[in-house]
Structure 1
Amino acid sequence: MCNENFSVRSENSSLQGKLEGAGGIYIHIPFCKQACHYCDFHFSTSLKKKDDLVSALTRELELRKNEFKNTTVETIYFGGGTPSLLSNDELQVLIDSVYKNYKVAEHPEITLEANPDDLSSQRIKDFVNTPINRLSIGIQSFFEADLNLMNRAHNANEAKACLEAATKHFDNISLDLIYGIPGASNEQWMENIEIALGFNVPHISSYALTVEPKTALAAFIEKGTIEDVDDEQAHEQFHILKAKLEASGFVHYELSNFGKENYFSKNNSAYWQGKSYLGIGPSAHSFNGKQRGWNVRNNSKYIKAIQQNNLPIEIETLTLTDQYNEYIMTGLRTIWGVSLPKVEKDFGITFKNYLIEQSDVFINQHLLYIDIDDEHLRVTKEGQFLSDGIASELFKIN
């Protein structure tokens, strides 16, 4: 059917797993004004294919509707890339396509990732007249030196101005901050947090700066142009963040996410709680409990396949061990933890006993604990920053 280096599937060949209950739809918009030095997501700085891409996204939503035949869509999430590069009309076309082809909850969470340089006061006012009800704004830092190091498209004044305008019109706002930036002191990090809190947003996502292979940041560090990330300082800044936000009424409900009560991200929470989601667009990932799928990471190949009514998607069927490992990884990142009764019910007593045995060393190091009231395994305060590494040590190999 095709000699490309990815599997092309007909519209009748798709993920066939957990098809009932609630789920979410993620729509990947693969365009950016410029490349951030740390980013390894799939995107293009050319908008030449934007019209074709929007048409292809709309068509993929139609082609895959049977995957969610018995699923209610609770969340629609525009990620990227930079979704705020789309016009409101283009966003509305995609939202309309979801409503046309899927069963949508009465009050879904509809999130748009946006960069400050796209959020003029007028653009924010215009969003009020769309179904979008949550903004996730990529601030990253309020300091020019940090923004320049990361090659962000906005400046510090734009970051503050967009939040000033957004908070006048939107209640549900999340902002992103990055810690562990070379040259950024703990005092500067604290100031970043305090500036963010001054806007009274109800949700903050914060990530350690990670040096991904083949990024500009990795090349600059290798050449000595930029100093390497200091893991110890990143660890310190994580605990500064946690202490400051919890003291300000935020719940640290997932490793990188802090929310006020009733403002947890429904989209992200669904991922961590194992709900089904469809990933629409080039490089987007999907999951249904039994299978994982990912679209081709190439705009032209994606558009061409969809125009031919084919799905350019690779699908992996998860073994029982894979499903167990997935649950351990996602569960330990959250306040909900890993349910020992669920492990026994879904995977068997052998898996439960293995988990308890493997956890023992981390319990003795005060990095994990078992809550005897609800029989959940959770990370301690000391273990949170290390949760991904701990989880990997609890995986079963076969």
Structure 2
Amino acid sequence: MSGIYLHIPFCKQACHYCDFHFSTSMGHKEATIQAIARELALRQDYLQGQPVHTIYFGGGTPSLLTQSELQLLLQTIKGLFIVSEDAEITLEANPDDLSPEKLLELKAAGINRLSIGLQSFHEPHLRLMNRAHSATESLQCVKDAQAAGFDNITVDLIYGIPAPDHSIWLQDLQTLFSLNVQHVSCYGLTIEPDTAFGRWSKKGSFKPSEDEFTAEQFEILLEQMKQHGFVQYEVSNFSQPGYESRHNSNYWRGVHYLGVGPSAHSFNGHSRQYNVSHNRKYTEAIGQDVVPFELEELTLADQANDYLLTTLRTIWGCDLGILRDRYSYDVQATHSAYLQELQQKGLATLQDDVLYLTDKGKLLADQITLDLFVE
């Protein structure tokens, strides 16, 4: 079992919070898509013949792909790899791209899961973040996708956006639940240095929310999700039963995946590869049949830390037995007092040799994981 991730590095405009690799210039889009198809051929042995169960178009904004570009990439994958008949094929999309005609094209191409970047239903917040769509489009595109036959839809929302109180966030959640989507990914607004928000914050012209305000909105999120039947199977991801993202779940479970396109990452259990984050350098290298990446060989300690980092964030928890047997790391021997402290403070539970974070602990997931890392 394995997956393929395709990074489509193009956007109509730059969102003020985003530090992913992308370009707003479409001049080299066709050449880049051709190069991604070529990279798939150059790296067809990376997964060592493992069947592909998930395909994920991320970005950037993959909904900017034309029908012919999308078909080229999917046909290339199916011609080079063993793709399971029930493969989950996800495409990230912006609401302003999802016309009824576009949705039918995506459905016909074989996309069976849509990930729609709504971020908010509040118009002033969309403008603040420099989103290309309106609140009306946020609502309409989901309804149009459902009408086109998509029955596996996930949407993204952002919390922790500066506001006088929590009323806007509560309204966003109520609007979300009215749409009856199967999956939701929610992320706290993070201020990255190399973004508009980061630069404005440094100058003092933008004031991010206090950590306490963001934490309160996360707690509201957890309560509301439970009330509406969603399962929090990873810190930021919620689904109706049976609609967990298979692709992302595989990341958290250490399944091997191939990443193609500028800035894409790949993982095969013992190493990671990081493609160059530069469209022109990428296409020029691929044109010479060279994949431009950096290679990181993972030590046993690296692999143990990766396992901690990914599994502790999930509903399935971190199996301490696997850490001992597979990675020679005995957390109970090295951090016995700390594990007891986590349980006493209500931050974690330990059941049948599996460590789980509580709702309270999930607020501190990153710090707890760092505290447990192999030094």
Using the size of structure 2 for normalisation, the TM-score is: 0.97
Deviation at 1:355, TM superposition (A): 4.6
Question: Would the aligned equivalents of 2:252 and 2:310 in 1 still touch at CA under 8 Å?
Answer: yes
Map 1:235-250 to 2 at 5 A: 235-250=215-230
Gaps of 5+ in 1: 1-21
Map 1:33-72 to 2 at 5 A: 33-72=12-51
Question: Would the aligned equivalents of 1:38 and 1:210 in 2 still touch at CA under 8 Å?
Answer: yes
Deviation at 1:180, TM superposition (A): 0.1
Aligned to 1:147, which of 126, 134, 147? 126
Deviation at 1:221, TM superposition (A): 1.8
Whichever residue aligns with residue 300 of structure 2, its letter is L
* Residue 286 (structure 1) aligned with residue 251 (structure 2): no
Deviation at 1:339, TM superposition (A): 0.5
* Residue 263 (structure 1) aligned with residue 243 (structure 2): yes
Which residue matches 2:366? 388
Aligned structure 1 segments of 4 or more residues deviating by more than 3 angstroms: 349-352, 355-358
Whichever residue aligns with residue 379 of structure 1, its letter is L
Whichever residue aligns with residue 52 of structure 1, its letter is A
Deviations 1:78-109 (A, max 9, x none): 00000001112111110111111111112100
Q: Work out the CA distance in 2 between the residues paired with 1:152 and 1:190.
A: 20
My pick for the range that moved more, 78-87 or 162-171, is 162-171
Using the size of structure 1 for normalisation, the TM-score is: 0.92
Deviations 1:263-284 (A, max 9, x none): 0000100000000011100000
Q: Work out the CA distance in 2 between the residues paired with 1:124 and 1:185.
A: 36
Whichever residue aligns with residue 311 of structure 1, its letter is V
Which residue matches 2:168? 188
Whichever residue aligns with residue 248 of structure 2, its letter is N
Q: Work out the CA distance in 1 between the residues paired with 2:197 and 2:31.
A: 31
Aligned to 2:8, which of 29, 44, 49? 29
Question: Would the aligned equivalents of 1:69 and 1:102 in 2 still touch at CA under 8 Å?
Answer: no
Which residue matches 2:311? 331
Using the aligned pairs only, state the percent identity: 48
* Residue 78 (structure 1) aligned with residue 45 (structure 2): no
Map 1:1-398 to 2 at 5 A: 22-168=1-147, 169-183=149-163, 185-348=165-328, 350-371=330-351, 374-397=352-375
Q: Work out the CA distance in 1 between the residues paired with 2:337 and 2:5.
A: 37
Which residue matches 1:17? none
Question: Would the aligned equivalents of 1:344 and 1:352 in 2 still touch at CA under 8 Å?
Answer: no
Deviation at 1:243, TM superposition (A): 0.8
Matched position secondary structure for 1:51: helix
Q: Work out the CA distance in 2 between the residues paired with 1:351 and 1:255.
A: 22
Q: Work out the CA distance in 2 between the residues paired with 1:188 and 1:234.
A: 13
Q: Work out the CA distance in 2 between the residues paired with 1:290 and 1:367.
A: 31
Question: Would the aligned equivalents of 1:343 and 1:352 in 2 still touch at CA under 8 Å?
Answer: no
Question: Would the aligned equivalents of 2:200 and 2:206 in 1 still touch at CA under 8 Å?
Answer: yes
Whichever residue aligns with residue 176 of structure 2, its letter is A
My pick for the range that moved more, 360-369 or 162-171, is 360-369
Report the RMSD for the aligned CA atoms in angstroms.
1.2
Question: Would the aligned equivalents of 1:146 and 1:184 in 2 still touch at CA under 8 Å?
Answer: no
Q: Work out the CA distance in 2 between the residues paired with 1:184 and 1:226.
A: 15
